[in-house]
Amino acid sequence: MWALLHKEINGFLSSLIGYIVIMVFLLMVGLFLWVFPGEFNLLDRGYAELDSLFLLAPWVFLFLIPAITMRSFSEEKRTGTLELLLTKPLSDTRIIVAKFLAGWFLALLSIVPTLIYYITISNLAEPAGNVDHGGIWGSYIGLAFLSAAFVSIGIFASSITVNQIIAFILAIFLSFFLFVGLESIASFDLLGPLDNVMLNLGMNEHYRSMSRGVIDTRDMIYFFGLIGIFFLLTKASIESRKW
């Protein structure tokens, strides 16, 4: 599995894909946080906090992560190398885990440079260091879990089609629906007691909860469960090719 993981990561970093993803993420977030005037600009807000970063990052990842994962299985199917990969002494689970970890690694690699923003805001605070460290670190952890969930969705979308564009669009749709779609449905107050259930099934509710700086085990269980569900769906999709 580690050889496959190393191969997947090298595939990202030895081509322009990995660097483009990282640069696009940092450029889009950086422009809104430091250059473009408006509600997201940290200097205009006048407060030593990084809420804008954690509001913007999920929306950028909503499009970038499907771009990362759309090739995972679609390209293997298109070129016929998936059958060759499945003949290797690797279980389907290990193949899926390796592709998942490679995609998640690239997403986390995109987040790491934003620690510079954390240091900058901390130094700009009055007095220096007077920031909500717990809330910021909670938000980083929440963003890591959220990106992992997006990657698992993208891997699944890629496993059910040979077309990368379809995989990309499907991953965006599923990620959007689970991130804010369920929450939007719940906001209409049409389902009575089920509205609260719908709200808690959405990723944004648990992401916001983590962003408060309190890492609740319920939020972690939710993300682990969601990732596990898409792992099982991906495994079922891969195994169906053997029938």
Per-residue pLDDT tens digits for 5-22: 777 777 777 777 778 888
> Cis before residue 66, ω within 30 degrees of 0?
no
Q: Are 126 and 201 a contacting pair, CB within 8 Å? A: no
Give pLDDT, residue 19. Answer: 84
CA–CA gap between residue 54 and residue 1 (Å, rounded):
33
Q: Are 65 and 175 a contacting pair, CB within 8 Å? A: yes
| Residue at 198: amino acid letter | M
Give pLDDT, residue 240. Answer: 77
CA–CA gap between residue 180 and residue 177 (Å, rounded):
6
Give pLDDT, residue 87. Answer: 65
Q: What is the pLDDT of residues 205-218, one digit of tens each?
A: 999 888 887 788 99
Q: What is the dihedral of CA 178, 179, 182, 187, to 10 degrees?
A: 180
Low-confidence ranges of the chain (pLDDT < 50): none
Burial class (CB in 10 A: 0-12, 13-18, 19+), 234: buried
Q: How many domains does the chain have?
A: 1
Spatial CB neighbours of 199, under 8 Å, sequence gap ≥ 6: 182, 183, 186, 205
Q: Which residue from 109, 111, 101, 113 is spatially nearest to 151, judged by alpha carbons?
A: 101
Give pLDDT, residue 145. Answer: 96
125: three-class secondary structure by DSSP: coil
Give pLDDT, residue 105. Answer: 93
Quote the pTM value.
0.91
Give pLDDT, residue 77. Answer: 74
Enclosing domain of residue 82: 2-242
